[in-house]
Structure 1
Amino acid sequence: MTLAPTAAFHRALIVGAGSGLSASLARLFAGHGLSVALAARTTEKLAPLCAETGARAFTCDAGNQASVADLFTAVEAAIGSPDVVIYNASGRLRGPIETLDPADVARALEISAFGGFLVGQQAARRMIPQHHGAILFTGASASIKGYPQSAPFAMGKFALRGLAQSMARELAPQGVHVAHFVIDGGIASASRPVPAEAPDSLLDPDAIALTYWQILHQPRSAWTWEIELRPWVERF
């Protein structure tokens, strides 16, 4: 059987960019010839990655409506309208439920969930007329499991998952692929190396990025809206 060809992608925007998964995604996309835009609240930390990949950095507060709208306008002017948009921002806040500051909780939800809506809305407005594009949301173990003293993170990630599921059902018939990635486990980094006595016990960010790339290029006859990723030793 011959699979239908996948439409090409040319411009990627990663919101909530940093040195981990976002950096792996930026390298992978740039290596395949995509123009890459990186958005973060502070962009100084992105300078080495931009120099390495040729990506452009943009300042954005993902939980602020005006800031997100300005981001898409600026990205369009710099590289054109993105046909891949990845929401990788999270608001992490831990503490006993009885002592959490409600204002801090609201801000965490604003970043984890409301920001996903703002970015997804701006992306959808541009992709629907083209009947083409992909909007990818990064989830976590907390997307499906609420842990003790982690209510704000679970609330935000549960909401982001619901947003992704709703958008996938709404936008798939219009040619826009929406997918949610449950990253169920710790991600290896320079500050969190894989233990020598337990190889492959942490998620490799390059391996995660490769899965994003594979989902991005699924034939539309077999799109997935959600996938879980975890190390082979992770309990679930």
Structure 2
Amino acid sequence: MPKALIIGAGDGLSASLARLLAREGYAIALAARDIAKLDALAAAIGATAHACDAASETDIATLFAQEGDAEVVIYNPSFRTRGPITELVPADVQRTLQVCAFGAFLTAQQAARRMIPRGAGTIMLTGASAGVKGYPQSAPFAMGKFALRGLAQSLARELHPQGVHVAHVVIDGGIRGARRPESGQDTLLDPDAIAESYLHLIRQPRSSWSWEIEVRPWGEKF
């Protein structure tokens, strides 16, 4: 049974990814800082749950020592702080960079060390609109997501020739959920539909790998 490791698991997109991949025959490992929130999802799909701070080198190394044989690794954590540049708290800015970008580096490094010898594997990084366009009063998030996109592009060029598929998914729009219900006009991204796009990337033949795709609701402004 193939294995998928989802870091930054919780409600929304990561839960949709976990349920879809479980239906596709993957054994699922979930990682989050607060694993209590994963109880229902883990029980429903037979997943394992691991406490992990995505920005901690020690935590990521420990996680991969336990679940490092995963064929698919998805990095989904996110953290943001907003406000005028003159009022941002440096510690919050640093945390944004650590979670959005540094944790992705730690994850990709551990995954690559295991996938390169096998000559196979998929590393997927969840991006955002902020990774391609910086918004006012959102400089930290733009910094983190721009860095994530640069990491993905560099890794794709390095690892694709070694048989490891690296893909960056730009989530350009709000995601439907309990705290953001749909208005009935498809103005929000359906997390189950996004998960289908991830599955398409996982299944891509290596003769036509994508390193990046964008997903957005039809009414979202470019």
Give 1:86-235 correspondences, 5 Å limit: 86-196=74-184, 199-235=185-221
Partner in structure 2 of residue 10 of structure 1: 2
2:65 is the counterpart of 1:73? yes
CA drift at 1:73: 1.0
Partner in structure 2 of residue 6 of structure 1: none
Q: How many residues align?
A: 222
In 1, Cα distance between equivalents of 2:9 and 2:215: 20
Q: Deviations over 1:93-126 (max 9, x none)?
A: 1111101111111111000000000000000000
CA drift at 1:75: 2.1
TM, length-normalised to structure 2: 0.98
Paired residue secondary structure (1:139): strand
Structure 2: which 5+ residue stretches go unaligned? Answer: none
**4+ residue stretches of structure 1 with deviation over 6 A?**
none
TM, length-normalised to structure 1: 0.93
Partner in structure 1 of residue 13 of structure 2: 21
CA drift at 1:54: 0.7
Partner in structure 2 of residue 41 of structure 1: 33
Aligned residue identity for 2:116: I
Paired residue secondary structure (1:92): coil
2:76 is the counterpart of 1:54? no
Structure 1: which 5+ residue stretches go unaligned? Answer: 1-8
Aligned residue identity for 2:159: L
